[in-house]
Amino acid sequence: MTLLDRAVAALGLTESAAGVGAALGGSEAPVHRLATDDGRVLALRVRPPEHAGPIQREATNVQLAASLGVAPNVLGVYCGPEVACLLTEWVPGQPLAAVLALEPQRLREWGLAMGRFLASMHQAARGHADLGTLGPGWDWPHSEEESRRLERLPPCDGPTLLHLDFHPLNVMASGGTVAAAVDWMNAGAGDARLDVARTVACMALDGSNVDGSWERWIPAFLAAFADGYEKSGEALAEMEPFMRWAGEATLRDLRAKRTREQIAQMEATVRRWDRTPCWPPSRGTLGP
């Protein structure tokens, strides 16, 4: 019996729920799309039983995000000796990465929309009663160098919900707009600028490795993303220390996932950010 079969049985999906492949998001932990006899479409993240902690943490993250209207509703969680899994509604639409490939002429429009969506989420979550149930997210504490960079950050003006993996593979577009975010494994609570910087660093450092066609439009897209965020009334002051943290953190995240040559190029970019201006995002500030 596969992990998927165990998850379906553990959650009591007695209808003939059929997995149609790993889908949503950019995480290496698969999310399966399930279709049931009664016409429902569901999303099921499946992990081995030793990953019960991350599954429980993601469920908590998604429940808070769903209450804000930015994530699918949680339908079930199971963590037992045979499997750990999280069941949610399926998010309609397509990942923004796929939409951008089809509509490159709307690049700035989509960048603005992605920035506005994240700003609106941060505004809605600030002061939320359930923020205290979240940790800082993303497998903290970090390496010694990341910890040093965190210590240099300006004071937080009020924690909010952070996605910390907010990029076009994890952003869903539907009806001509950004509809939801998926893959909440990294989420936590903290300074909103951490989230913005992580988005920019993730795409600037690794976007062309995910999809070679991204490289030519990443700087313009990220400039629009930052512009859209600020147009929603969220100020992005003193961003360079956050960018320098995000560069180091993203390197740590990717070292085991990319080739030595790719990591060397990323390191050169991050070291450049340490020496020269790295905000606002543009071809001049983000390049190697």
**Local confidence band at 59 (pLDDT 50, 70, 90 cut-offs):** very high
Instruction: Select from 64, 89, 114 the last residue of a domain.
Output: 89
The percentage of the chain sitting over the pLDDT mark of 90, rounded to a whole number, equals 65
Q: Give me 102's structure tokens.
A: 């089809």
Final residue belonging to a domain, choices 63, 89, 115 = 89
Distance of alpha carbon 284 from alpha carbon 55, whole angstroms = 40
47: β partners: 84
- pLDDT score of 204 more than 60: yes
My answer on whether 146 and 75 are in the same domain is no
**pLDDT for residue 68 is more than 90:** yes
Last residue within a domain, chosen from 41, 68, 89: 89
The arithmetic mean of pLDDT across residues 153-157, rounded, is: 91
Model's pTM, two decimal places? 0.92
If asked whether residues 31 and 120 sit together in one domain, one would say: no
Range of the domain at 222: 94-286
Same domain, 129 and 62: no
CATH classification at residue 7: 3.30.200.20
**Distance of alpha carbon 270 from alpha carbon 48, whole angstroms:** 34
Write out pLDDT tens, residues 3-42. Answer: 888 888 888 886 555 554 555 555 667 788 888 777 888 9
Q: What is the pLDDT of residues 118-149, one digit of tens each?
A: 999 999 999 999 998 898 888 776 788 888 99
